[in-house]
Amino acid sequence: MSETEQHWDVFITAKSTDYPQARQLHDYLVSWGVKSFLSPAVLPAMGRTDYRREIDRALDSATHMIVVASSVENINSRWVEAEWGGFINELRSGRKSGNLLTVIIGTMKVGDLPFALRQYEVVPFDPSLFETILPYVSSIGSLAAQIEIANENERPIPIKRAVQWALEAALGLSEMHQRDLVHRDLKPSNILLDGEGHARVSNLRLVQTHESRLQQGSVGAPHPGTREYMPPEQVPPNTYPLRPSADVYALGCVLFELLTGQVYFHHEGTPPSGLRSEVPLWLDDLVMRMLSQEPKERPRDGGEAAELLRQGLEGEQAQRAEEQRKMEEKARQKRETAEREQRERQAAAQMKAERHSRQEAEKQAAEIARLEAEAGQALEKRNWQQVDQALKSLARKGVEGQQKARELQTRLVQAQREAEVLARQEAEPHPPTPISY
Sorted by where each begins, the domain ranges of the chain are 1-137, 139-300
Calculate mean pLDDT across residues 51-78: 90
Measured distance CA(244)–CA(177) in Å, rounded:
6
Measured distance CA(250)–CA(156) in Å, rounded:
20
Question: Which carries the bigger pLDDT value, residue 217 or residue 256?
Answer: 256
CA distances 91 to 163, 206, 310, 412, Å, are 30, 9, 34, 127
Burial class (CB in 10 A: 0-12, 13-18, 19+), 342: exposed
Burial class (CB in 10 A: 0-12, 13-18, 19+), 420: exposed
Closest of 89, 31, 34 to residue 60, by C-alpha = 89
Give percent above pLDDT 90 in the chain.
47
Instruction: Tally Cβ neighbours within 10 Å of residue 234.
Output: 25
Calculate mean pLDDT across residues 309-325: 85
Contact call for residues 185 and 227 (beta carbons, < 8 A): no
Average of per-residue pLDDT values in the chain? 87
Q: Is the dihedral of CA 57, 60, 62, 65 positive or negative?
A: positive
Q: Identify the three-state secondary structure at position 101.
A: strand
Calculate mean pLDDT across residues 178-183: 93
Q: What values do phi and psi take at 274, rounded to 5?
A: -70, -20
At residue 43, the pLDDT reads 63
What are residue 11's DSSP bridge partners?
37, 65
Measured distance CA(360)–CA(357) in Å, rounded:
5
Measured distance CA(67)–CA(118) in Å, rounded:
12
Calculate mean pLDDT across residues 24-50: 78
The domain made up of 139-300 has a fold known as: Transferase(Phosphotransferase); domain 1 (1.10.510)
pLDDT of residue 338 exceeding 70: yes
Calculate mean pLDDT across residues 305-314: 95
Give percent above pLDDT 70 in the chain.
92
Instruction: Tally Cβ neighbours within 10 Å of residue 218.
Output: 7
pLDDT in tens, 378-407: 888 888 888 888 888 888 888 888 888 888
Contact call for residues 254 and 186 (beta carbons, < 8 A): yes
Cα within 13 Å of Cα(128), Cβ side: 0
Measured distance CA(286)–CA(305) in Å, rounded:
9
**Topology agreement, domain 1-137 and domain 139-300:** no
Q: Identify the three-state secondary structure at position 198.
A: coil
Measured distance CA(99)–CA(49) in Å, rounded:
28
The band of 2, judged by pLDDT with boundaries at 50, 70 and 90, is very low
Domain 1-137 CATH (choose: 3.40.1280.10, 3.40.50.300, 3.40.50.10140, 1.20.1250.20) = 3.40.50.10140
Question: Which carries the bigger pLDDT value, residue 192 or residue 340?
Answer: 340
pLDDT of residue 96 exceeding 70: yes
pTM, full prediction:
0.54
Closest of 100, 143, 96 to residue 123, by C-alpha = 100
Closest of 391, 390, 397 to residue 362, by C-alpha = 397
Sheet containing strand 10-13, edge to edge, reads: 36-38, 10-13, 64-69, 100-104, 121-124
